């Protein structure tokens, strides 16, 4: 028996074990990585030498109505990213609403700073200490 034929037989046997829910060497995930581990072959055996078996495996997974683990993880990640985008959009809206008030405050503080600087440049500064209202 040729090494390639033996490899194909191991992949088919591993496919049956995974699909029947009785893996021996892997975690039983419906992924090509788990299939390679279960068949005890390198991953490139499925991606390069035997892509027909990889496609057959995924066809069986789809027939069973099961979603491959990789797809389930990607779908969950998409949901998470959509929530993150929505949160960031809300935050961005709030920040944009805050900008005009911050600009007004900055302009007011700049004007007050310039007035104080002008007072400091006078020969005799016109700064009077403030007394509390109880002393007045």
* Predicted local distance difference test score (pLDDT) of residue 126: 65
Rounded to whole angstroms, how far apart are CA atoms 8 and 3? 9
pLDDT at residue 125 in the model: 58
Instruction: Determine contact, residues 34/12, Cβ cutoff 8 Å.
Output: no
**pLDDT above 70 as % of the chain:** 85
* Number of neighbouring beta carbons within 10 Å of residue 43: 13
Work out the pLDDT band at 80, boundaries 50, 70, 90: very high
pLDDT in tens, 94-126: 999 999 999 999 999 999 999 988 888 766 656
The rounded Cα 122 to chain-centroid distance in angstroms is 59
- 125's tokens: 């500064």
Note the pLDDT tens digit of each residue in 8-56: 999 999 999 998 888 999 988 888 999 999 999 999 999 999 999 999 9
pLDDT in tens, 82-92: 999 999 999 99
Segment among 6-10, 58-62, 89-93 with least mean pLDDT: 58-62
Whole-structure pTM value: 0.50
pLDDT of residue 135: 57
Tell me what the pLDDT averaged over the chain comes to. Answer: 87
């Amino acid at each position: 028996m040729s090494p390639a034929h033996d490899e194909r037989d191991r992949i088919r046997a591993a496919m049956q074990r995974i699909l029947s829910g009785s893996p021996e060497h892997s975690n039983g995930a419906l992924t090509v990585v788990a299939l390679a581990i279960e068949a005890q072959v390198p991953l490139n055996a499925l991606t390069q030498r035997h892509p027909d078996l990889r496609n057959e495996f995924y066809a069986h997974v789809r027939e069973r109505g099961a979603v491959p683990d990789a797809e389930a993880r990607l779908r969950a990640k998409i949901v998470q990213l959509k929530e993150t985008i929505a949160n960031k959009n809300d935050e961005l809206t709030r920040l944009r609403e805050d900008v005009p008030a911050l600009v007004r405050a900055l302009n007011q503080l700049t004007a007050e700073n310039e007035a104080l600087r002008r007072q400091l440049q006078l020969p005799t500064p016109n700064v009077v200490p403030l007394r509390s209202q109880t002393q007045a």
